[in-house]
A and B are shown apart, each in its own frame.
Chain A
Amino acid sequence: MKFQKRTVGLIIYFFLLLLPIYWMLNMSFRTNADILSVFSFYPHEPTFDNYLKIFTDKSWYSGYLNTIYYVSMNVVISLMTALPAAYAFSRYSFLGDKHLFFWLLTNRMAPPAVFLLPFFQLYSTFNLIDTHFAVALSHCLFNVPLAVWILEGFMSGVPREIDEMAYIDGYSFPRFFLTIFMPLIRTGIGVTAFFCFMFSWVELLLARTLTTTVAKPIAATMTRTVSASGLDWGLLAAAGILTIVPGALVIWFVRNHLAKGFALGRV
């Protein structure tokens, strides 16, 4: 009996959770005229026009490519820099380690709005405005600290004796790190990559400010449509649905470690 009550509660929650998303999905299969004239719970005459437009119009699909490009770049930069640092934090105590860790943490908490203007000035000086690299680098502000944090949690779960044994057996540090240690924490690396992907994917403010045309993210293309008069709701909904797809795909691979990752590896 108790089990049933639980399940019913959960099903109600998931229903409410999916309802807004379903509504957008519903819109995405309808033309704008249809949306504005008929109120309907499902598409009467499903049409793929909205999706077709996004896949054929360069101003739309290049937005997706740009986003995927800078997000991947950011994930690579974050992981490459965070791996050795996380190892240092989990294995060594060194001068100022706690302060440094705290300082990194503050950057995860920093309001992106604060950095908006200086980023723009800084990247203008180096002629980086409207490049994918600029967005990837600016997202490092919150992703690198996060990556260090999650990885440190996972690395601290590996007993130090493993390191000691490897060094006694004559492994050099790079060889030990690449062939023994990284395979041991591959779950952690996967989870970290997922989180860097996610936070870079959902961020809009910095990505929008630092780009104009060449590296414009899909999210910014969508806001442009919002601000214009005469909204095409169907098109907007289709674009929105397509931004959910990549996240929904990668989430499947980390589903079993998801909870631990959100707890920053510290459960």
Chain B
Amino acid sequence: MKKWDDNKAWFMVIPVFLVVAVSAILPLMTVVNYSIQDIFGPDNRIFVGIEWYREVLTDSRLHDALNRQLLFSSLVLLIEIPLGILIALMMPKKGWGASLSLVLVALPLLIPWNVIGTIWIIFTRPDIGLFGAAINGLGIAFDHTGAPLDAWITVMLMEVWHWTPLVALLAYAGLQAIPEAYFQAARIDGASTWATFRYIQLPKMRGVLTIAVLLRFMDSFLIYAEPFVLTGGGPGNSTTFLSIYLVKLAVGQFDLGPAAAFSIIYFLIVLLFCWLFYQVLLKVGTGDKS
């Protein structure tokens, strides 16, 4: 659609600009301010330049957290995307079954994030949890508060349980947008289920799947509340992801300088991915119209 060329449209954007500026630009400036100073009190501060950045960039615990984060986000994508597509393919296309499946699928997305953690604590505890008790009953020792691997499995299970529905809903929206004529043509040609999926459904879902991949990557990169409630970043530091480490640094130890420098670096990493995201989205947007 061609758009009107008019700079007066800025007036309509001003409210949004102001609201987001107050809640984004001002805080970010404060963070930058902190990241280059050592603050002892309101009137006692020393300019330290890039000192904090150097400290943060050479912090081995931060490197560990970043590696952990990347591994986590990759695993999330590898499991949730195929599973989400599979669920979307299984969901009925119309009728009451479709409405019911939509509501059920979306349910985990509406639960406050810390409650998600609570649900999974209750579910996986060896003494009172169904999952924990069942696994232990099979003779496998399982304790997410003690063993790092078990903690990882629990966090992954929770993450998959919580966010696969988002992928499923996106894929479902993509499937719904395919005209029925495509399937009729496929049926006439005698195409197998696999061929229909590979050559009709999958290509048509490209747009929504791109959004799904990128949203899942972003949000898993920023994950905080669920693992914090479930494992508190432990045992040891085995489930300390970037956000958890940052909050530990800023609120727990009150190291404002390093925490601020870390925030800036964290934000720049996210910004980089965000830019890639936007480029891909633009490409997908134009690809559909041609």
CA distance in complex: A95, B8 (Å): 9
B15 close to A255 (CB less than 8 A) = no
The answer to whether B99 has its CB under 8 Å from any CB of chain A is yes
Q: Is A187 positioned at the interface, with any CB of B under 8 Å from its CB?
A: no
B interface: dominant SS: helix
Within 8 A of B (CB), among A10-45: 10, 13-14, 16-21, 23-24, 27, 35-36, 39, 41
A264 to B123, alpha carbons, bound, how many Å? 33
Residues of A contacting B259 with CB < 8 Å?
117
Q: Are A91 and B13 in contact (CB under 8 A)?
A: no
Interface digits, A222-245 against B, CB 8 Å rule (1 contact, 0 not)?
Answer: 110010000001001100100110
Task: Specify which chain B residues have a CB less than 8 angstroms from the CB of A237 in the assembled complex.
Answer: 118, 122
Nearest-neighbour CB distance to chain A for B110, whole angstroms, equals 3
Q: Which residue of chain A is the closest to B218 with respect to CB atoms?
A: A109
A210 CB, min distance to chain B CBs, angstroms: 11
- Select which of A116, A159, A204, A233 is within 8 A of B251 by beta carbon: A116
B278 engages A24 (CB within 8 Å):
no
Taken together as a complex, chains A and B put the C-alpha atoms of A259 and B176 apart, in Å, by 9
Given the complex, which residues of B lie within 8 Å of A117, measured CB to CB? 30-31, 34, 250-251, 256, 259-260, 263
B266 and A111 within 8 A (CB): yes
Indicate with 1 or 0, residue by residue over A200-212, a CB within 8 angstroms of chain B CB atoms. Answer: 0111110001000
Judge if B48 is at the interface, Cβ distance under 8 Å. Answer: no
- Point out the residues of chain A lying under 8 angstroms from B147, CB to CB: none
Q: Is the CB of B16 within 8 A of A21?
A: no
Quick one: given A82-B16, A114-B267, are A141 and B102 in contact (CB under 8 Å)? no
Q: Considering the chains assembled together, what is the distance between the CA atoms of A41 and B131 in angstroms?
A: 12
Are A141 and B243 also in contact (CB < 8 A) when A77-B19, A100-B13, A219-B112 are?
A: no
Bound state CA distance, A116 and B248, in angstroms?
12
Q: How far is the CB of A120 from chain B (nearest CB, A)?
A: 9
Chain A residue at minimum C-beta to C-beta distance from B248: A113
Contact check: which of B24, B102, B130 meets A258 at CB < 8 Å? Answer: B102
- Cα distance A262–B171 when bound, in Å? 10
B10 CB, nearest partner CB in chain A, Å? 6
Bin the interface of chain B by size: 35 or more
Contact: B109 with A122, CB < 8 Å?
no
Q: When chains A and B are docked, how far (Å) is the Cα of A80 from the Cα of B87?
A: 36
Q: Is the interface of A mostly helix, strand, loop or mixed?
A: helix
Beta-carbon contacts under 8 Å, A96-144 to B: 97, 100, 102, 104-107, 109-119, 121-122, 137-138, 140-141, 144
The answer, yes or no, to whether A160 is at the interface (CB within 8 Å) is: yes
Stretch at the interface among B49-57, B70-78, B180-188, B269-277: B269-277
* A204 adjacent to B225 (CB under 8 Å): yes
Alpha-carbon distance between A80 and B224 when the two chains are bound, in angstroms:
30
Band of interface residues on A? 35 or more
A188 within 8 A of B: no
A132 to B103 alpha-carbon distance, docked (Å): 30
User: Are A122 and B273 within 8 A (Cβ)?
Assistant: no
Q: Which of A136-176 contact B (CB under 8 A)?
A: 137-138, 140-141, 144-145, 148, 156, 159-160
A222 touches B115 (CB 8 A): yes
Contacting A at CB under 8 A, from B222-244, are 222, 224-225, 229, 242-243
Q: Are A91 and B169 in contact (CB under 8 A)?
A: no
> Could you tell me the distance in whole angstroms from the C-beta of B264 to the nearest C-beta in chain A?
8
Would you call A251 an interface residue if the criterion is a C-beta within 8 Å of the partner chain's C-beta atoms?
yes
B19 and A107 within 8 A (CB): no
B200 is an interface residue with CB less than 8 A from chain A: no
Q: Which of A9, A10, A111, A248 contacts B270 (CB 8 A)?
A: A111
> Are B106 and A81 in contact, with the CB atoms below 8 A?
no
Contacts of A156 in B (CB 8 A): 1
Decide yes or no whether A193 CB sits under 8 A from chain B: no
**A258 vs B193: C-alpha distance in the bound complex, in angstroms?**
27
Docked complex Cα distance between A6 and B90 (Å): 5
Measured between C-beta atoms, what is the minimum distance from A20 to chain B in Å? 4
Given A100-B13, A105-B274, A256-B99, is A144 in contact with B19 using a C-beta cutoff of 8 Å?
A: yes
- Among B17, B27, B109, B274, the residue within 8 A (CB) of A198 is B109
Q: What is the interface of chain B, defined by CB distance below 8 A to chain A?
A: 1-10, 12-13, 15-17, 19-20, 22-24, 26-28, 30-31, 34, 86-87, 89-91, 99, 101-115, 118-123, 127-131, 133, 161, 165-166, 169-170, 172-174, 176-177, 193, 207-208, 211, 218, 221-222, 224-225, 229, 242-243, 246-247, 250-251, 256, 259-260, 263, 266-267, 270-271, 273-275, 277-278, 285
Extra contacts, 14 of them, besides A144-B16, A248-B110 (Cβ < 8 A), are: A14-B101, A20-B131, A23-B123, A24-B118, A94-B8, A105-B277, A109-B274, A113-B247, A204-B225, A209-B251, A226-B121, A244-B111, A251-B107, A263-B169
